[in-house]
Amino acid sequence: MNQHTSKIQHFFRILLALSLLGAGIGHLTFARTEFQAQVPNWVPLSKDLTVILSGIVEIAFGLALLFVRKYRYQLGWVTAVFFVLVFPGNVAQYLNRIDAFGLTSDNLRLMRLFFQPVLILWALWSTGALRQVRRPDA
């Protein structure tokens, strides 16, 4: 299976990887409290453990997107699924009117909800996973 992507896809995959690394480091350090505020109350783990685990996952995905070529399509899908799984945190932030990350109004928190599909598509497109769906023989 050819895992080739264009230069622009490569650039955006690197940008996504660096963003995930930054977010993951933030989960573990300077933004930990803000991330804890986004964890919905129905999550069965403690908010701190949830934030730590999601930070570790983000760092792992960031590193994998940077360095693992053989499974690039699969990484795109797994990263996209991760973005789907953390979406309830964004919904909770909106519904509970939680101010975090500069999102200090209902309008800003609502706009953030619409960015999640962009992240999902970004993960799929930048890794070539979308093209693989359209042309499985590519």
**45 domain-assigned:** yes
Packing angle between helix 72-95 and helix 106-126, nearest 10 degrees? 170
**What is the C-alpha separation between 123 and 17, in angstroms, rounded?**
9
**105 domain-assigned:** yes
**26 domain-assigned:** yes
Backbone CA torsion sign across 63, 68, 69, 73: negative
Residues 115-127 have pLDDT tens digits of 999 999 999 999 9
**133 domain-assigned:** no
pTM: 0.91
Q: How far apart are the first and last CA of the chain?
A: 7
**89 domain-assigned:** yes
pLDDT band (50, 70, 90) for residue 137: low
**37 domain-assigned:** yes
Domain count, the chain: 1
State the residue range of the domain holding 102.
7-127
**2 domain-assigned:** no
**34 domain-assigned:** yes
